[in-house]
Amino acid sequence: EVLDSSDGADPLFYLHGGGNIVPGLEEELTGKSVGDKLSVVVTPEKGYGVPGGPGPQPVERSAFPPEVQLEVGMQFHAEAPDGSPLTLWIAGVEDDHVLVDANHPLAGVTLHFDIEVMSLRAATEDELAHGHPHGPDGTAGHHH
Ligand code: ZN
């Protein structure tokens, strides 16, 4: 099943070492050069994790802003009882409640990537400080 592709679209930019992509993919891309082609298989451990915890839990629909259109797979941030930040995903939407899960929708999935390195440049200071790329030449995407 093809989950995502940049075929016919702009290539994906990422900051190497910034944790922008799954660890198993970042590892394989270390030391690669422009023109290199790779087929990478990433295990769940180095991808989106191994499913754990109690699984999907029901939460009242009223706990979410009414104007937000809730969809399965949507990611949001919450706070654990001890105050630490939590990333959660919506696993189901019912009439009066929503199922939320701490597992990424692709947790437990072995991922296959077919990749070609299209370009490579040094990161700017801003990009290093932000931990993510600012477009093809490092000047784009300054709306944050
Ligand atoms: Zn930035």
Q: Which residues surround ligand 1, an ion (CB under 5 A)?
A: 130
The mean pLDDT value for 34-49 works out to 97
The string of pLDDT tens digits covering residues 116-142 is: 999 999 999 999 999 999 988 888 766
Q: Which helix (H) or strand (E) holds 38?
A: strand 37-42
Distance 128 CA to ligand 1 centre (A): 9
* Mean pLDDT for the chain overall: 92
Banded pLDDT at 80 (limits 50, 70, 90):
confident
Distance 13 CA to ligand 1 centre (A): 13
Lowest-confidence pick of 104-108, 111-115, 135-139: 135-139
Distance 139 CA to ligand 1 centre (A): 9
Q: Is the pLDDT of residue 144 over 70?
A: no
Query: How far apart are alpha carbons 95 and 113 in whole angstroms?
Result: 37
C-alpha dihedral sign at 44, 46, 47, 50 = positive
Residue 3 is predicted with a pLDDT of 86
Distance 131 CA to ligand 1 centre (A): 7
- Spatial neighbors of 108 by CB under 8 A, at least 6 apart, are 44, 48, 49, 50, 51
Distance 123 CA to ligand 1 centre (A): 11
Query: How far apart are alpha carbons 121 and 138 in whole angstroms?
Result: 9
- Spatial neighbors of 26 by CB under 8 A, at least 6 apart, are 16, 17, 19, 20
